[in-house]
């Protein structure tokens, strides 16, 4: 669930930003030396003064597609908070943060805003539609009325995700079109000035996987980058659906990378594959430890909460070495549930956490939104599995709770990539707990399709995490292990 990627380069260092929707903190920021290995170094919107997502923010609302750029020694990030706060810009000299409080841009009413500067220092903001306006980033004021630009293939829906680049003597306008589902694609045009007029590429769309059997689908919403060795690359979003018909993607929309060459003055996108071959010299970066013991002063930036994370709902000091959650809503159906989770990043994975629910009720959950989630929880003398699928809610299993802290466990197991039948599930989700000798007691096994975008709708993927729905619940550690 790292969609809508935007990338920039400073020397031999690369920085990437992605959408975060209803989760707080917002806009994860990554660093790389080779465009392949990435490390999350922070979140651009990590304070309530920067990001306000009230309970009325719908799931898949909130923070939409950012653009990340480096100009005059500062990083600039522009994005939209839908539907409440509109377009905003934050800046920083360090992409790891802290980032400034936002400047609002009321003259930019759309989503997917982009920033580009010409040789005179004028800032051009282009946004979904495709429309463009010159802006003053210091005040947020628009310097003119928005104008329409080239908007892609005639008749194609949702021209969006514009990015404007100066390459040589020409300006290139890259956009997404066709909607972010199966018809998604990327097209490009070029012109003599930032505001055109623009000539479309005769080979448009330059990237799409529509009507193919490629394992990566819904490809679009891209950003071009020239590497320090002169090579060109495209980051873009895609999905990896699994199972039968129509296919279900459960990890949300992800970021992919492809090489780009230039032919007759147009960018040509190379092979898109599940793994990278060639490219820049490899610079692997450390991954977060599989197990978080909550020994730090602050949570790792990978941890996200639903809409907000009020200080009174969580603590790393009560006692030290434990993540303590204090309930403020009674259910994962509620908009302000106390929840701390991380994105599911592998089709097959195992999540385990040592939970002390002696003073409350809570546990581990697989969340897509308020109406689609599975959870295994402890409290009130029992361990239980509950599910919510649309309007249906069900207590699936319960057992007397063993005394003392308990290891709760969730496993996802991907189904075979070649479906045995047209309705084969994308994966199965097993929920239960561990005995003192480490044996996994499976309380329930569920079809994973009901926690997918194709069932639930929206723009997000699964988040695996810890929650409290009554009293106080403490977590000594959580371990996330890929099992693919």
From residue 111, give the alpha-carbon distance in Å to each of 108, 177, 239.
Answer: 8, 14, 21
Give the count of alpha carbons within 13 A of 23, CB side only.
Answer: 30
Distance CA 463, CA 212 (A): 29
Q: Which two tokens stand for residue 262?
A: 């230039």
4 is catalytic: yes
With tokens 């010159």, the residue in question is 134
Which residues, in sequence order, are bridge partners of residue 376?
Answer: 364, 385
Residues 6 or more apart whose Cβ sits within 8 Å of residue 410: 350, 351, 364, 366, 374, 376, 429, 430, 431, 464
Given a contact cutoff of 8 angstroms between Cβ atoms, the answer to whether 344 and 366 are in contact is: yes
Given a contact cutoff of 8 angstroms between Cβ atoms, the answer to whether 276 and 257 are in contact is: yes
Q: Which two tokens stand for residue 322?
A: 């434990």
160 is catalytic: yes
Distance CA 333, CA 378 (A): 17
Helix/strand/coil for 152:
coil
Complete DSSP assignment for 353-418: EEEEEEEEEEEEEEEEETTEEEEEEEETTEEEEEEEETTEEEEEEEEEPPSS-EEEEEEEEEPPSS
The single residue of 22, 114, 160, 329 carrying the catalytic annotation is 160
Give the largest CA-CA distance in the chain.
Answer: 73
Distance CA 402, CA 400 (A): 6
With tokens 């594959």, the residue in question is 273
Residues 6 or more apart whose Cβ sits within 8 Å of residue 391: 371
The set of catalytic residues is 4, 160
């Amino acid at each position: 669930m790292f969609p809508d990627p935007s990338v920039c380069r400073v020397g031999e260092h690369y920085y990437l930003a992605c959408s975060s929707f209803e989760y707080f903190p917002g806009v994860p920021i990554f660093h790389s030396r080779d465009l392949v290995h990435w490390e999350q170094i922070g979140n651009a919107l990590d304070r309530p003064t920067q990001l306000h997502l009230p309970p009325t923010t719908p799931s898949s609302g909130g923070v939409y597609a950012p653009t990340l750029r480096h100009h005059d020694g500062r990083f600039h990030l522009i994005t939209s908070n839908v539907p409440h706060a509109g377009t905003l810009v934050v800046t920083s000299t360090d992409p790891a943060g802290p980032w400034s409080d936002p400047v609002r841009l009321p003259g930019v009413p759309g989503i997917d805003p982009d920033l580009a500067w010409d040789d005179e220092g004028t800032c051009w903001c282009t946004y979904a539609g495709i429309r463009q306006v010159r802006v003053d980033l210091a005040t947020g004021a628009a310097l003119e009325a928005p104008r329409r630009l080239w908007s892609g293939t005639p008749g194609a829906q949702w021209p969006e995700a514009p990015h404007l680049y100066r390459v040589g003597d020409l300006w290139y306008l890259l956009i997404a079109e066709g909607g972010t589902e199966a018809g998604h694609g990327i097209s490009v045009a070029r012109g003599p000035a930032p505001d055109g007029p623009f000539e479309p590429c005769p080979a448009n769309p330059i990237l799409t996987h529509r009507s193919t059997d490629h394992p990566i689908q819904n490809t679009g919403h891209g950003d071009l980058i020239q590497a320090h060795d002169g090579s060109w690359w495209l980051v873009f979003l895609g999905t990896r659906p699994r199972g039968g018909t129509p296919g279900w993607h459960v990890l949300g929309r992800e970021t992919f990378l492809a090489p780009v060459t230039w032919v007759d003055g147009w960018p040509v996108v190379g092979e898109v594959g599940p793994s990278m071959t060639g490219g820049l010299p490899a610079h692997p970066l450390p991954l977060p430890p599989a197990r978080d013991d909550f020994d730090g002063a602050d949570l790792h930036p990978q941890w996200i909460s639903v809409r907000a994370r009020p200080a009174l709902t969580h603590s790393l000091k009560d006692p030290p070495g434990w993540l303590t959650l204090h309930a403020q809503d009674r259910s994962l159906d509620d908009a302000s549930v106390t929840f701390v989770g991380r994105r599911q990043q592998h089709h097959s994975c195992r999540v385990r956490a040592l939970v002390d629910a002696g003073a409350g009720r809570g546990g581990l959950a697989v969340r897509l939104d308020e109406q689609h989630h599975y959870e295994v929880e402890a409290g009130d003398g029992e361990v239980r599995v509950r599910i919510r699928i649309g309007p249906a809610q069900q207590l699936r299993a319960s057992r007397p709770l063993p005394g003392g802290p308990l290891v709760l466990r969730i496993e996802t197991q991907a189904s075979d990539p070649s479906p045995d039948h047209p309705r084969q599930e994308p994966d199965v989700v097993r929920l239960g707990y561990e005995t003192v000798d480490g044996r996994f007691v499976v309380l329930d096994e569920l079809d994973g399709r009901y926690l997918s975008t194709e069932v639930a709708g929206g723009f997000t993927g699964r988040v695996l995490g810890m929650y409290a729905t009554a009293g106080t619940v403490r977590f000594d550690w959580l371990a996330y292990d890929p099992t693919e």
